[in-house]
Amino acid sequence: MRVRFAPSPTGALHIGGARTALYNWLVARHGGGTLVLRIEDTDRERSTPENVEQILDALRWLELDWGEGPVLQSERAQRHAEVLERLLADGHAYRSSATAEDVKAFKARHGAQRGFRGEPEAEGAVRLRVPEEGATVVRDLVRGETRFAHEHLDDPVIARADASVLYNFAVAVDDLDAGITHVIRGEDHLSNTPKQLLVLEALGARQPQYAHLPLLHGPDGKKLSKRHGAASVQELRDAGFLPEAVRNYLALLGWGDADDETIIPTEELVRRFDVARVSRNPARFELDKLRWMNGRYMRELAVDDLAARLEAHTGRESLGPIAAIAQEKIQTLADFWPLAGPLVDGPVDDAAARERWLREEGREALAAAREALAELEGFSVESIDAALRRVVESRAAKPKQVFQPLRVAIAGTTVSPGIFESLAVLGREEALARIDGALAGAPA
């Protein structure tokens, strides 16, 4: 089994392309085959080295390795020219100077559904001859069989007059030379498939097995785009998602196992994946669902692993203790700093929080909490918990009437990891200093 992922380097790797890459990777891993990475860079204006690196960077982050490549399609021009000359010599292709107007006039004479047929000329673009009778049948693991009657197909242009080949010709030759057995790609390529199959047939090659994947939609049912949130792999990475969670979520966009599970580790995906189980219906990419799944993965990480990822994401060091107390409250790596950053850098200046919680009653509760904390012999989560609950009880207050002024004192805001855990991580000296600073400040 040999599969290929063949992106065009005209920008970042979008989520739909990432799912295609993942499905090819899973098929190769499941079947003990090879994934070939081919960069289809024949659009010279938009295909830049920077865009190629963006694709490679995205695949590396997703941890989708490839067995061969990357092969640059642009470097195969000589091979494409050789095959083109072979088709011309064998009579499977011909030169034609026919224009779009000529094609339109042909259809006006023969009927709009009649495929264009040209006359061989000495110069012009190269067109592939389509048989007059029969049909090209695309046998697809997802969609079943699709027939394209030859009488409706134009003789397709496969090379320009300057001999530069077109996409469908180059793809067919590249797939043939690479020995690709399974072509797994988006259904937007389905209309290209009969043209590529006709090239392969003219070359006497066997038809690979196809699987055309349904496109991804946003929550509103429309084609996935930037307006639905993150559109590229790098945006997901920068938003703090974990590659293993992204792999899990993307795998389930259109594919499902009989067990109907949601959290499926990558090694289990490899074992179970069967592209024939991909649905024909469009799948919906929903960022909220990915956040939920990512949160599940975050909570399963060992604290040392989580801390290392947070340190890489934030550029900070020694985050282990704070990572441990924030783990249950964050869904992405990017959630961490707004929640726990004040414990590292000091309280933020949230005027609304001070106004709400550090007026007279709040300052009295804070002073009582400070006194109770200062008297503790040990400064553990358990001892802090017990001391502060005694303050709540002695004041006949609600817990938040004591805990929220404390949270504002040590973090500057009402959002932080658990208050007992936060105080313990800060330590007695730092915690009391922050409380003293809040008490010394002018009342809100």
Average pLDDT over residues 303-332: 97
Alpha-carbon dihedral sign for residues 385, 386, 392, 396: positive
Both ends of the chain: CA-CA distance in Å?
Answer: 70
Closest CA to 155 of 134, 133, 129, 135: 129
Active site residue 226: yes
The CATH number of 351-440 is which of 3.90.650.10, 1.10.287.70, 1.10.1660.10, 1.10.10.350?
1.10.10.350
CB atoms inside a 10 Å sphere around CB 199: 25
Question: Taking 60 as the threshold, does the pLDDT of residue 256 lie above it?
Answer: yes
Closest CA to 368 of 332, 335, 338, 397: 397
CB atoms inside a 10 Å sphere around CB 399: 13
Question: Taking 90 as the threshold, does the pLDDT of residue 135 lie above it?
Answer: yes
pLDDT at 229: 57
pLDDT at 258: 64
Strands 125-128 and 34-39: unpaired
Prediction pTM value: 0.93
DSSP secondary structure of 19-50: HHHHHHHHHHHHHT-EEEEEE----TTT--HH
pLDDT at 259: 65
**80-159 falls under which CATH superfamily?**
Glutamyl-tRNA Synthetase; Domain 3 (3.90.800.10)
**184-243 pLDDT tens trace:** 999 999 999 999 999 999 999 999 999 999 999 988 888 776 565 567 999 999 999 999
Residues 132-145 as b/e (b if ≥16 CB within 10 A, e otherwise) read: eeeebebebbbbee
Q: To the nearest whole number, what is the mean pLDDT of the chain? A: 95
Weakest-pLDDT range from 44-48, 73-77, 114-118: 44-48
pLDDT at 119: 95
Length of the chain: 444
pLDDT at 44: 75
Domains of the chain by residue range: 80-159, 303-345, 351-440
> Predicted confidence band at 442 (pLDDT cuts at 50, 70, 90)?
low
pLDDT at 231: 79
% of residues, the chain, pLDDT over 90: 92
Question: Taking 80 as the threshold, does the pLDDT of residue 443 lie above it?
Answer: no
**53-80 pLDDT tens trace:** 999 999 999 999 999 999 999 999 999 9
**280-298 pLDDT tens trace:** 999 999 999 999 999 999 9
> Predicted confidence band at 14 (pLDDT cuts at 50, 70, 90)?
very high
pLDDT at 348: 96
Please pick, among 107, 226, 289, 329, the residue that the annotation labels catalytic: 226
